A = this chain, B = another copy of it.
Amino acid sequence: MAAGDTYINKSLPRVDGESKTLGQTKYITDIEIEGMAHAYPVCASVPFGKVKSVNYSKLSEDPDFITLVSASDIPGQNQVGVIIQDQPLFADETVRFVGDVIALVVAETHRSAVRLAKLVEVEYEKQEPLFSISSSQNSSSNFIHETNIACSHRVQKGDIDKGFAEADYIMEEQFSTPFQEHYYLEPQGCIAISESDGSFTIRGSLQCIYYVQKAVARVMGVEASLVRVIQSPTGGAFGGKEDIPSEICARAVLAAKICNRPIKVIYEREDDFQLTSKRHPFEMKYKIGVMNNGKILAAKVELNENAGAYATLSSVVSYRSSIQALGPYVIPNVEVESTSWYTNLPPTGAFRGFGSPQATFGHERMMSIVADKLAIDPIDFRLTNIIEPGDETITGHTLNHSVGIKETILEAQYKSNWTAEKQNKESERYLTGVGVASSIYGNCLGAAGWHLDGAGVNIQINRDGSIGVAYGLIEMGQGADTVITQMVAEALSVSPARVHIRPTDTASIPDSGPSVASRNVVMTGNAIQDAASKINPVVLDAAAKMMNCASSDILIEEDLIKNLVTGETVVFDKLTEFMHMNKYQVVAHGWWHVPELSFDHASGIGEAYFTYSYATHIAKVKIDKLTGLVQVEKIWAAHDVGKAMNPAGIEGQIEGGTLQGLGWALTENFQLDNGHVTSTNLSTYLVPTAMDIPDVETLIVESPDPEGPWGAKGVGEPAIIPTAAAIANAVSNATGRHFNKLPIIPESVLRELSNPKGV
């Protein structure tokens, strides 16, 4: 009601900070229910084959063994594919990767369930597995599903042949990026209860309560309203808890129904590595046609993704990477093909950035290579082609508002002292260099998921002035509860201390889609404004009645109700008491849906997303010529967030995203052997630690979006997107070699240093 920012654009401390810091938060593993049994999956030990027999005779004598649940127990459908119906809950006929779940052991304890699951003997008729994209592409008879193509997307704009024909230079390069494991601190887990009224209650560490609800309803053959999903405090997710919990919960519910006992499933870390989704490895070909003056005329991009055994979210990862394949640049003639290929590896799916870090690695390495070739400063080259208000994206979407990419480049350039830093300094032992990378990120689900792109909030004001809030998206460690507390306080002009967030629960809010794609602030913020637009007139009317004046005489500001004529003020909870005594309704449901998007899926032309976030990272690296170790000394991370809701929270997201990007770029070397993940713990899979974090200087650029709440756009995923490309550009700059393949581990650095420059 009051003008200006009172509670947003402020660094409110985390509302969940104290209980998490003190170790009081109860994660799913901390919850014990009387009578609970424990379940654990029996997994395929071969990457591809037919199941010939399943023998669990070794289990039957064990005092802790309860039962074995498998496909034949399913009352509904044996299907948990989230977009494409290619994934059985139990792989009872064909196993397609090491870790495909064949059955579920139920036992008295977790340890026994884990132990007994390993004693189930499965006989296979083995098939020849396909592990690489090329083997999948080149197979003419060996198909993992009906075809080896999981999905494909294209963008086709202008006249690509004419563009290349008119270009002064044409350059082609290939890039590749590896798997990445989410390594959320809390492994996958849930508790399922079969209720006496035929309904099911599920608690779990998860991102998408409505996906779980839908999957369980399908597997159990019941209506969605009989499936209640309540999110537990979730210790990290990063996309890894988008679709995977659906299968874990569906199996647990089935076991709970059969045993009539609560069932808990918690994955051991090594199995979490083997069984759950990863970031898609990409193989990319970029061909760019450019004029002498640095203007890009044409670009042809081929993206190929290793989807693993099941499509899961590949189609939307592929969609997003195709839309963003050429970054925040204006290019008149474009052809992008993005294809996901089935292989006999763990399924790849949602991971922070959702294909964007991969595509950004491609286009930003390419931009720097072309700039070098043209002998143009890489920042100047980017600015020559940068998208500005009034320009069109590669999908032909004219952007008129909130296009802050240029400001992020200029801000990072200025703060990093770019011109001085870009002069490489070489000492006897060390090389230094800087690299820049910019990115574009479509907010929310875009045209590919538009029908899911609504979200809700429920705001209930109590007699004592306290305010209960439920929303349909989730807190997974990113700070959503804190920002939502601020936005509710701002929208109602009351102190954030009054606002209390309830756990996310399918019973509280209708299907608000998945908690992904940096949707939370934008969707929930707008829903809060919708709810406030219903509550505030009622509150004003009540205030006027209480103060015996016209509602136009009332200002509600900073938790106070002010009569502007008499100067009288009363605190908010006196008003809520008055409202309670005088028949005022004090609850509202708020809803927001992304505006309609005009998009042609065949050509990939149109409004792919309703708005975009932008970022530029500049990385400064120091390379040890003796060991090949790359040390990132500093990252300047400039982000156009539309409008900052909680600057400290944004800094946290950017520092975390940057570090996760650094790990993907340099240290996290995901290894497989015949489909078995061999880097299944922190001694072999080197997730960067707090000690590895470089000095990250967050530069917040505000370019308010008219559709964003208070102008805000998403920042959770953009935080990671340009980092790896900036680091690779810095390493290339320092060494004079092209680092076009991630991760850049010391071995690769030493190998490249032994090659001549510029190859």
Seen from chain A, the residues whose Cβ lies within 8 Å of a Cβ on chain B are 16, 19, 24-26, 31-36, 195-199, 214, 217, 223-226, 228, 451, 454, 456, 458, 460-468, 470, 498, 500, 502, 507-511, 580-583, 585-589, 591, 593, 596
B586 touches A466 (CB 8 A): no
Chain B: CB-nearest residue to A509: B587
Chain B residue numbers with a CB within 8 Å of A225 are 460, 462, 466-468, 498, 500
For the complex with contacts A214-B463, A454-B585, 12 further pairs of A-B residues with Cβ separation under 8 Å are A19-B196, A32-B34, A460-B507, A460-B510, A461-B510, A468-B507, A470-B507, A509-B587, A510-B585, A511-B580, A583-B593, A588-B589
The 9 closest A-B pairs by CB, nearest first: A32-B34, A24-B196, A223-B466, A225-B466, A451-B581, A225-B500, A224-B462, A225-B468, A510-B587
Chain B: CB-nearest residue to A573: B223
Give the docked Cα–Cα distance between A195 and B587 (Å): 24
Given A217-B464, A224-B462, A468-B507, A16-B587 contact (CB < 8 Å)? no
Chain B residue numbers with a CB within 8 Å of A467 are 225
Give the docked Cα–Cα distance between A16 and B460 (Å): 29
Give the docked Cα–Cα distance between A466 and B510 (Å): 12
Chain B residue numbers with a CB within 8 Å of A509 are 460, 587
25 contacts between A and B (CB under 8 A): A19-B197, A24-B196, A31-B34, A32-B35, A199-B500, A217-B464, A223-B466, A223-B498, A223-B500, A226-B466, A451-B581, A451-B582, A456-B587, A458-B589, A460-B509, A462-B511, A463-B511, A468-B507, A470-B507, A508-B508, A509-B587, A510-B587, A583-B593, A588-B589, A589-B589
Q: How far is the CB of A445 from chain B (nearest CB, A)?
A: 12
Chain B residue numbers with a CB within 8 Å of A24 are 196-197
Chain B residue numbers with a CB within 8 Å of A32 are 33-35
Chain B residue numbers with a CB within 8 Å of A588 are 589
B587 touches A464 (CB 8 A): no
A464 touches B19 (CB 8 A): no
B580 touches A591 (CB 8 A): no
Q: How far is the CB of A290 from chain B (nearest CB, A)?
A: 41
Chain B residue numbers with a CB within 8 Å of A16 are 197
Give the docked Cα–Cα distance between A411 and B307 (Å): 76
Chain B: CB-nearest residue to A27: B196
Most B CB atoms within 10 A — which of A25, A26, A199, A463?
Answer: A463
Chain B residue numbers with a CB within 8 Å of A460 are 225, 507, 509-510
Chain B residue numbers with a CB within 8 Å of A596 are 583
The 8 Å CB contact of A34, one of B34, B223, B470, B582, is B34
Give the docked Cα–Cα distance between A667 and B460 (Å): 47
Give the docked Cα–Cα distance between A221 and B224 (Å): 39
Chain B residue numbers with a CB within 8 Å of A451 are 580-583
Give the docked Cα–Cα distance between A122 and B36 (Å): 41
Give the docked Cα–Cα distance between A297 and B34 (Å): 67
Q: How far is the CB of A590 from chain B (nearest CB, A)?
A: 10
Chain B residue numbers with a CB within 8 Å of A500 are 199, 223, 225-226
Chain B: CB-nearest residue to A591: B585
B35 touches A224 (CB 8 A): no
A508 touches B510 (CB 8 A): no
Given A33-B34, A468-B507, A510-B586, A223-B580 contact (CB < 8 Å)? no
The 8 Å CB contact of A510, one of B462, B510, B593, is B462
Q: How far is the CB of A444 from chain B (nearest CB, A)?
A: 13
Chain B: CB-nearest residue to A199: B500
Q: How far is the CB of A264 from chain B (nearest CB, A)?
A: 11
